[in-house]
Structure 1
Amino acid sequence: MHRRHLLLALASPILVTGLMGLPGCAGLGNPSVITLGEAELAALVARAFPLNRRVLEVLDLQLSAPRLRLQPDFNRVSVALTLRAHERLRGGNGRGRLVFDSALRYEPQDASVRLTQVRVQQVDFMPGSSAGPASAALDVLTAQPGPAYRIGRALAELALEDLAIYRLSADRQASLRQRGLQPGAVMVTARGVEITLASVAG
């Protein structure tokens, strides 16, 4: 009996040490998580830009210079971007600012954290001097409010939806597998973005 108690006493600190050795993870008594601080997350988001998207084969968009802000009360992040647009058919162009917010999700297929449920909150756009009245494609960015503006917001949301902003390294994935853990829910908190680690079923 005394031997069993001795073994348990020796094993407990070893187990705690093993769990605490996983970077960004909480110890016993708390859910295990990987935490990305706001500054770290901002740096990761910056790597995903500039982002170039072609819309309906007539409009080239470039989104750059992201400025990130956490919204823990809504479990979302907010990002402001510099927006540049070029109309391919008539050569119209312009620049402005786009602000969106988004929830985050974990994608197990490639161990990534991705934008989900993207909502564009603001588009401020000014056509350049070469964008004449005939540059109809730019109307989706300049017409506020109205059907064209709503279409522009929807297209911008489509361009940003499912964008990967973080991937777990191969070493970290291997470390989690050895411990029988896998990433699950992604939460935005005042501390940053927390990826909950759950036990692998079976």
Structure 2
Amino acid sequence: MLASCASLIGPREVEIPLQKLQDGIERRFPLNNRVLELLDIRLSRPQLSLPGGDRVALGVEAYVAPPFTSQAWPGSLALSGRLFLDAQRGAVLMDETRVDRFVIDGMDEARQRQLARVAGVLVGKVVRDVPVYTFRLEDLRYAGVQFVPTRITTTPRALVVTLEPRR
């Protein structure tokens, strides 16, 4: 009987506002990582935007320091990635990330280019594990029917997720 109800209900779209996505990603920061035992990188104050298509852009403050000194160089990092659904985790994640801009204040361009390559490795590893949004169980239940996210699109102000009844 529930299966027949599910087919009557059909797919539905849920809009997740940018501010809700921003609030969720802020809870996952700051991120601290050591890269190749050479540099400690701290990423903080994330700023999320939805430029369109299936991509998301993220700007963060970055602090870079050698591991055995107290000196840190401030800067900023801008990256983007393709959004995808991880049904197992019930989450929207980023893949195919790329560093769009990496600037460290007071550092020459040649050294910044080297750091940008290192940052690309870090971003690919770290960002892949940080969900842009995680569904709560009650988000995926409606009228007694369990739904699964099947498709995502973006607008400048929201993430639109298509939910379909679980078969």
With the length of structure 2 as denominator, give the TM-score of the two structures.
0.79
Structure 1 residue 63: Cα displacement: 0.8
Structure 1 residue 96: Cα displacement: 0.3
- Structure 1 residues 196 and 78: CA distance shift in structure 2, 3 A: same
Cα distance in 1 for partners of 2:133, 2:42 equals 20
In the TM superposition, structure 1's runs of 4+ consecutive aligned residues that sit over 3 Å from their partners are 89-92
Q: Which residue of 1 aligns with 2:90?
A: 111
**Which residue identity does 2:79 align to in structure 1?**
F
Q: Is residue 184 of structure 1 aligned with residue 164 of structure 2? A: no
Kindly tell me the number of residue pairs found equivalent between the two proteins. Answer: 161
- Structure 1 residues 142 and 156: CA distance shift in structure 2, 3 A: farther
Q: Deviations over 1:71-124 (max 9, x none)?
A: 11x321111100012211455521100001122222222212212221110001
- Structure 1 residues 87 and 176: CA distance shift in structure 2, 3 A: farther
In the TM superposition, 1:41-60 aligns within 5 A as 41-60=21-40
Whichever structure has more strand as a proportion of its residues is 2
Whichever structure has more helix as a proportion of its residues is 1
* Structure with higher RCO (Cα < 8 A, 6+ apart): 2
Q: Which runs of no fewer than 5 residues in structure 1 stay unpaired? A: 1-14, 20-27, 129-138
Cα distance in 2 for partners of 1:152, 1:81 equals 12
Choose which of 136, 139, 145 in structure 2 pairs with 1:169.
Answer: 136
Q: Which residue of 1 aligns with 2:118?
A: 151
Choose which of 26, 47, 50 in structure 2 pairs with 1:67.
Answer: 47
Structure 1 residue 165: Cα displacement: 2.7
**8 Å contact kept, 1:48–1:165:** no
Q: Which runs of no fewer than 5 residues in structure 2 stay unpaired? A: none
- Structure 1 residues 148 and 60: CA distance shift in structure 2, 3 A: closer
- Identity, % of aligned positions: 24
Secondary structure in structure 2 of the residue aligned to 1:143: helix
**Larger Rg computed on CA atoms:** 1
**Which residue identity does 1:42 align to in structure 2?**
Q
